[in-house]
């Protein structure tokens, strides 16, 4: 009888244990699906917000506007863990801000231009650390070198122009179809003095070829770089 009671005690508690474990397991599964669903919804929301920001790359023109846009892109970096794109776009915004400053005599200074180049480089380094060096990041690497030249053209051209050209050649080697590579090369041809290799007629030919590439270009995703066509059109519309 004692053995019977022992067996009865052991087996009698078993259904309750199974029930508790089943309920606990179902709670874990529910929590996992809820967390996954919430993460998916958060990422979808972030992607939509980033998509709204991208057209602004063609419409912002002031230093404050570029600064605000950079901060907007960065605000999504925590929601896009592991993605290089928020830091890539933050770098691009600092570059564009730097170029606006370099073209305005009232704002232009070596310290301000170098400050924006430094900020752009810091974000670009972060983007490449999160993913890898690619044609798009190399285009920004070229732009950083070119921005530094604008601070002191006569002093810095010999040092930074070779860096810019090297980065652009590497960008082209990694993706010959990247239209931004040809755009940046055309900008150099347009703005560099003829004595140093500039040629505006050749630049216009390159810009037209770049626009053809923009028409054919299909970004990898909705958030991948697509900027540049408006800059090409604007430069083509300029006179000598």
| Among 200, 214, 113, residue whose Cα is nearest residue 155 | 113
Q: Of 11-15, 123-127, 189-193, where does mean pLDDT reach its minimum?
A: 11-15
Helix axes 179-191, 229-236, angle to 10 degrees: 30
With a cut of 60, say whether residue 175 has pLDDT above it. Answer: yes
Query: CA-to-CA distance for 141 and 157, rounded, in angstroms?
Result: 16
Residue with tokens 């810019």: 164
Q: What is the mean pLDDT of residues 150-170?
A: 97
Which pLDDT score, from 0 to 100, does residue 15 have? 52
What values do phi and psi take at 218, rounded to 5? -125, 105
Q: How confident is the model at residue 80 (pLDDT cuts 50, 70, 90)?
A: confident
d(CA 79, CA 159): 39
At 122, the pLDDT band (50, 70, 90 cuts) reads very high
- The mean pLDDT value of the chain amounts to 87
Q: What is the mean pLDDT of residues 35-61?
A: 77
pLDDT score at 207:
98
DSSP letter assigned to residue 71: H
pLDDT in tens, 88-97: 999 999 999 9
pLDDT confidence of residue 14: 55
Of the chain, the end-to-end C-alpha distance in Å amounts to 109
Condensed to tens digits (0 to 9), the pLDDT of residues 3-39 reads 444 444 444 445 555 555 544 444 444 444 333 344 4
Closest Cα partner for 229 from 24, 198, 216?
216
Looking at residue 79, its pLDDT comes to 84
What percent of the chain clears pLDDT 90, i.e. is strictly above it? 75
Please give the full DSSP string across 75-130, using - where no structure is assigned. Answer: TTTTTTTT-SHHHHHHHHHHHHHHHHHHT-TTT--HHHHHHHHHHHHHHHHHHHHH
Report the pLDDT value the prediction gives residue 143, as an integer from 0 to 100. Answer: 98
Q: How far is CA 3 from CA 6, 10, 17, 67, in A?
A: 5, 11, 22, 80
Alpha helices in 131-152 (DSSP H): 135-151
């Amino acid at each position: 009888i004692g053995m019977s009671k022992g067996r009865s005690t052991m087996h009698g508690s078993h259904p309750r244990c199974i029930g508790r474990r089943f309920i606990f397991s179902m709670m874990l599964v529910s929590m996992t699906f809820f967390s996954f669903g919430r993460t998916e919804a958060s990422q979808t929301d972030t992607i939509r917000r980033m998509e709204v920001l991208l057209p602004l790359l063609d419409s912002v023109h002031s230093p404050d506007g570029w600064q605000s846009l950079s901060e907007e892109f960065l605000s999504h970096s925590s929601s896009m863990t592991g993605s290089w794109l928020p830091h890539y776009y933050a770098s691009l915004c600092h570059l564009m801000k730097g170029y606006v400053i370099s073209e305005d005599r009232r704002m232009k200074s070596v310290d301000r231009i170098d400050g924006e180049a430094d900020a752009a480089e810091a974000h670009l380094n972060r983007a490449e650390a999160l993913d890898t060096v690619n044609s798009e990041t190399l285009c920004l690497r070229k732009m950083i070198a070119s921005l530094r030249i604008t601070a002191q053209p006569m002093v810095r051209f010999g040092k930074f122009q070779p860096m810019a050209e090297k980065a652009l050649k590497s960008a082209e080697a990694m993706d010959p179809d990247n239209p931004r590579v040809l755009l940046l090369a055309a900008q150099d041809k347009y703005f560099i003095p003829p004595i140093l290799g500039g040629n505006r007629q050749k630049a216009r030919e390159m810009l037209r070829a770049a626009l053809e590439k923009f028409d054919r270009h299909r970004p990898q995703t909705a958030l991948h770089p697509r900027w540049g066509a408006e800059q090409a059109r604007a430069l083509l519309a300029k006179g000598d």
